[in-house]
Structure 1
Amino acid sequence: MTAPFTPEVVGAVCRHMNDDHPEDSLLICRTLGGQPAATRARATGLDAEGMEFAVTAHDIEVPVRVPFAHRLTERVQIRQEVVRMYREACQQLGLPPRPAG
């Protein structure tokens, strides 16, 4: 089976998350990634099944993989799934999510 996303797409998504949404990545990793003590999270990759992060907790960086709710096959699904994960993380932490925009 071939990977649905090219290295260019993966790189673009990771850059976008790291440049524009580092706080969202942190919330996702604290909750869905099982790293409640995380102080930093950096997107490092993704495939059809999940997203990978480098997470710093207690001054140690560890790899964390957060599975998607379902297998993704198209680029447009990536944004939808990351938004879903962000909203789920906010719900678990009792935080109101930002308005979509």
Structure 2
Amino acid sequence: MSDSFTREISNRICSHMNEDHADAVLLYAQKFGSYSNSTAAKMLSIDAQGMNLTVEVSGESLPIRIEFDHTLKDAEDAHHTLIDMLKLARTQK
């Protein structure tokens, strides 16, 4: 984990996403993680290069890694990137 993404920052982002934006985490898994048939997802960690999730597919829990399109600078960059990814995912069919 880079200096800009301490365990505390990762935990804070993951907690927020899982508690307040579970639908977005699922959409990330479906659109960027190639698990269109997933029924639930949880963000486990985030770092400057990507995020680690678990997804539920047919009753099985699977780990996935979603890489970002750029190296994140800090938590604010993560915030904007996750929003941009959500907007993009919502436009994809």
Global fold match (TM > 0.5): yes
In the alignment, what sits opposite 1:29?
Answer: 29
Residue equivalent to 1:89: 89
CA offset digits 1:46-90 (Å, max 9, x no partner): 111001111101100101111111001211001111011111111
5+ residue gaps in structure 2? none
Moved over 4 A (4+): none
Aligned length in residues = 92
**TM-score, scaled to structure 2:** 0.94
Alignment of 1:21-100 (within 5 A): 21-93=21-93
**Corresponding residue SS for 2:26:** helix
- Which of the two has higher C-alpha Rg? 1
Q: Residue 38 of structure 1: SS of its match in structure 2?
A: coil
The residue number in structure 1 matching 2:10 is: 10
Partner SS state of residue 76, structure 1: helix
What displacement does 1:40 show? Answer: 0.2
- Unaligned 5+ runs, structure 1: 94-101
> Cα deviation per residue 1:14-53 (whole Å; 9 max; x = unaligned)?
0000000000111111011100110000000011100111
Give 1:96's aligned residue: none
* CA RMSD, 1 decimal: 1.0
The amino acid across from 1:48 in the alignment is A
Identical residues among aligned pairs (%)? 29
Q: Please, what TM-score do these two structures have when normalized by structure 1?
A: 0.87
